[in-house]
Amino acid sequence: MDVPERLRVAVLAGGWSEERAVSLKSGEAVYQSLDRNKYDISWYDPREDLDVLMKKRGGIDMAFVLLHGQLGEDGRMQGMLDTLGIAFVGSGVLSSAMAFNKRVAKALYRSEGMTVPRDVILRRGDDEHMDREAESLGLPVVVKPVSEGSSVGICIADSAAGLRNGVAQAFQFCSEVLVEEYVKGREVTCCVLGNRELKTLPIIEIRPAAAYAFFDYEAKYTPGATEEICPAPISETLAERVRENAKRAHRALGCEVWSRTDMIIRDDEVILLETNTIPGMTQTSLFPLSARSAGMSFSQLLDELITLSLEKRSGN
């Protein structure tokens, strides 16, 4: 389907989450790069402009949602837009919620036969069992809030004391904490575009600088802090397995339009970590890098995302 002339596109960025600053950067990049010959473009920060957005909903054809984190990437904003009758870029309520919840996403990956790190789930009040849980996984372990993004609240714990501190930190962001075995290997990510028919963009290998224990928030968003190699220097056989896992994850979660799935390669084994339904779109973000490697400009990528979202809306 062709993009209609002068489509009225509203960029939604900012919001309420721990990722607000990154969301604003993603929103600014998209707002500046959308083709003014094709779109009438407006900007809303739901934290500040929610009442205005609701009043002006009749003048919006498509919302470009760039609200990373809670109250944006977890399905709640998508539900509000559905209620308001506003079409939007990306996955719907259920897919967004399932992908954002790492416990649910991993259960779906397992159900589809994909490999994930061993883990335990801790809930508030379970902390007296932490030592026993860690022993079952072996140290070091990775501690994560179940529902956060951009590595917010994540740490690697290599001692019982580090585990306790990490869990306490993660509980500041979420009522459930995921403790995973630490998988040492090469981190890669694969971007997916499409609805019924899926295509992948070139795989990226992620190599944080030696100063970073892992691809944390600072390593993600500090220019030059991480080496991002695209296409990843891996064999075609392994690359095909990575691409297939990205598409399987996209389908297992019911994603639409776009997603980016992070994985670890350990020897010849591909291990899934998580799927992002609203990938970052800043200057240092991975999705634009992968698109450039495929020969797509940033503006062309935005056109493709809007076109796919229109197709989703029309049921094609």
Active site residues: 19, 150, 221, 260, 262, 274, 276, 280
229-252: b (≥16 Cβ within 10 Å) or e: ebebebeeebbebbbebbbbbbeb
Mapping DSSP to helix (H, G, I), strand (E, B) and coil, where does residue 276 land?
Answer: strand
Nearest-5° angle of CA 26, CA 27, CA 31? Answer: 120
The reply to whether omega before 233 is within 30° of 0 (cis) is: no
254 vs 305: CA distance, rounded Å: 17
4: left (phi over 0), alpha (psi -120 to 50) or beta: beta
Q: In 133-185, at which residue ranges do the beta strands (DSSP E only) sit?
A: 141-145, 155-157, 176-181
114 vs 106: CA distance, rounded Å: 9
The alpha carbon of 240 is separated from its chain's Cα centroid by a whole number of angstroms, namely 21
Bridge partners (DSSP) of residue 65 are 12
Looking at residue 15, what DSSP letter applies?
Answer: -
The reply to whether omega before 140 is within 30° of 0 (cis) is: yes
Bridge partners (DSSP) of residue 135 are none
The alpha carbon of 290 is separated from its chain's Cα centroid by a whole number of angstroms, namely 14
